[in-house]
Amino acid sequence: MKTSHLLIVFAIVATILPAATMATEYIVGDDKGWNVSVDYNAWASDKVFNVGDILVFKYDPPHNVYSVDAEGFKNCTPSQKGWTSGNDIITLATPGKKWYICGFGQHCATYGQKLVITVQGGDAAPAPAPGDPNQNGASGIASSWYQIIVVAAMAVVGLLI
Ligand SMILES: *[C@@H]1O[C@H](CO)[C@@H](O)[C@H](O)[C@H]1NC(C)=O
Ligand SMILES: [Cu+2]
Query: What does the H/E/C string look like for 111-141?
Result: CCCEEEEEEECCCCCCCCCCCCCCCHHHHHH
CATH number of the domain to which 20 belongs: 2.60.40.420
| Total residue length of the chain | 161
Counting from 1 in the atom list of ligand 1, the atom nearest the Cα of 35 is 1
Answer whether 37 contacts ligand 1 (Cβ < 6 A): yes
In this predicted structure, the answer to whether residue 38 has a pLDDT above a threshold of 50 is yes
Lowest mean pLDDT among 22-26, 52-56, 65-69: 22-26
Average per-residue pLDDT for the chain: 80
Q: What pLDDT does residue 94 have? A: 97
Phi-psi category of 37—alpha, beta or left, where left has phi over 0 and alpha has psi -120 to 50? Answer: left
Cβ of 32 closer than 6 Å to ligand 1, yes or no, is yes
Question: pLDDT of 84-138, one tens digit each?
Answer: 999 999 999 999 999 999 999 999 999 999 999 999 996 544 444 444 444 444 4
Confidence of residue 153 (pLDDT cuts 50, 70, 90): low
Atom of ligand 1 lying closest to residue 60 CA? 13
> For ligand 1, is residue 87 a contact (CB within 6 Å)?
no
22: confidence class by pLDDT, cuts 50, 70, 90: confident
With a cut of 80, say whether residue 55 has pLDDT above it.
Answer: yes
What is the spatial distance between Cα 57 and Cα 54, in angstroms, rounded to a whole number? 10
Residue 135 pLDDT: 40
The answer to pTM > 0.75 is: no
Q: How many domains does the chain have?
A: 1
Parent domain of 69: 3-126+133-160
Report how far apart the first and last C-alpha atoms of the chain are (Å, whole number): 13
